[in-house]
Amino acid sequence: MDKNRRKQLEKLFEAPAPPGKRGFFRKIGLEPASMGNFIRVQFSYVSVWSWGAAILFLGIAVNLSCFYWQGLFSCTVAMMPLLALAGISESTRSFVYGMEELEMSSRFSLKSVLLARMAVVGIEDVLLALVMAWIVGDEYGNMAVQGSYMRTVLYLFVPYLLSVFGSLWIVRSFAGKEGLYACAGLALAVSTAAFASTQNLWWIYQEKYLPAWLAVIAVLGGLAFYEGRKMIKSHYLQSIS
């Protein structure tokens, strides 16, 4: 079809301007939506499953600190990929259940909704990880390695960011619940590898390898940010196409 005919068809079938549009919106009386209210609403959309998983992991860490101190660090490191899985499943719920079109009808753009939801879940995970690192303390169980609080935070975030990066790539590449199942498999694999490293590769947690841990954190953080940005952009383009 040539351009002229297409333009004629567009003019012929163009929808008329809705009468009384401004008056209708005045009657509704919508309050101006501030960024604070927007973030607060996104907090309310976080499912009970996500909050429950966070409380469960925190409770496990507290109980281990009281009854199984020797395995506290190993178990806490192994729980971090599962924490990432809970966050990813919450952030990508719109894509998994096909709710993009419904959220596009909100007052904020779909990109803003996705960014806000990922920020809410990310803040929750970071705060929980900081608390769990404080519970672990400076003594890394039976490895007898003295360290600081920030070192513990680094050790916990490496498996977490690895799981986040891989899960974001999976969600972007595979649609539907199949992608979520693949994310669960990845989280379990990373969790198993992290636990095994504390048992068989305890020497990598020595202080002299701290620059390597920092480099890994920087690389994984950058990759996770890159994949998250690509995921939002790709799903947004799919939803409007």
Give whole-number Cα distances, 232 to 38, 192, 236, 239, in Å. 18, 29, 6, 11
Continuous segment of H or E residues that includes residue 66: helix 48-67
Model-level pTM greater than 0.85? no
Residue 2 placed within a domain: no
pLDDT one-digit tens code per residue, 10-51: 777 776 776 766 666 666 655 555 666 666 666 766 777 777
Residue 50 placed within a domain: yes
Residue 17 φ/ψ region, left for φ over 0, alpha for ψ in the -120 to 50 degree band, beta for the rest: beta
Residue 147 φ/ψ region, left for φ over 0, alpha for ψ in the -120 to 50 degree band, beta for the rest: beta
**Average model confidence (pLDDT) for the chain?**
76
Cβ(118)–Cβ(228) below 8 Å = yes
Query: How many domains does the chain divide into?
Result: 1
Length of the chain measured in residues: 241
Structural domain including 121 reads: 35-240
pLDDT one-digit tens code per residue, 79-108: 999 888 888 877 666 665 555 555 555 555
Residue 22 placed within a domain: no
Residue 20 placed within a domain: no
Residue 167 placed within a domain: yes
Residue 14 placed within a domain: no
